[in-house]
Amino acid sequence: MEMPTHIVAVDALIRVVKEESGIDITVSNLIGVYSNTSTHKWYDGITDVPTKLMLDYRCKPVGGELAISEETSESCWVAKDTVLEYFTKTAFRTRYEAYLNFDGNIKYMEYITDPEFEIKLNRTV
């Protein structure tokens, strides 16, 4: 099995952002690597949800028009000083706070979300 390269991940990010938001972006750098090591049942109550690895990148909008898609029911531009008010899930809010506080060093965080959000490891890579 061949693993995708960093370039493939960046190309996929650019494509998905365009598909889901209508916005064209450039990707500058990796800012965080996150592992959600919780295991819990999917909505069907049968299927196990596996551990997830997520990569967060700093991106800049360069074109396109903000829109909704099958993945988003509404979209809007939000001021940087109020954006955290929109997060309802602690894991997403924590990751976005890391983006807002990015100092040039890539962060690694392991956390669980079930039964409740808990950071297991938080360090600079």
Q: How distant, in Å, are the alpha carbons of 30, 106, 115 from that of 37?
A: 21, 19, 12
Q: How distant, in Å, are the alpha carbons of 15, 86, 96, 101 from that of 80?
A: 24, 11, 11, 12
**CATH for 6-124?**
3.90.79.10
Q: Give the Cα separation of 34 and 107 in Å (integer).
A: 8
For the chain, domain boundaries: 6-124
Q: What is the pLDDT of residues 60-99, one digit of tens each?
A: 999 999 999 998 889 999 999 999 999 999 999 999 999 9
Neighbours of 36 (CB within 10 A): 19
Q: Give the Cα separation of 69 and 75 in Å (integer).
A: 9
Q: What is the pLDDT of residues 22-59, one digit of tens each?
A: 999 999 999 999 999 998 888 999 999 889 999 999 99
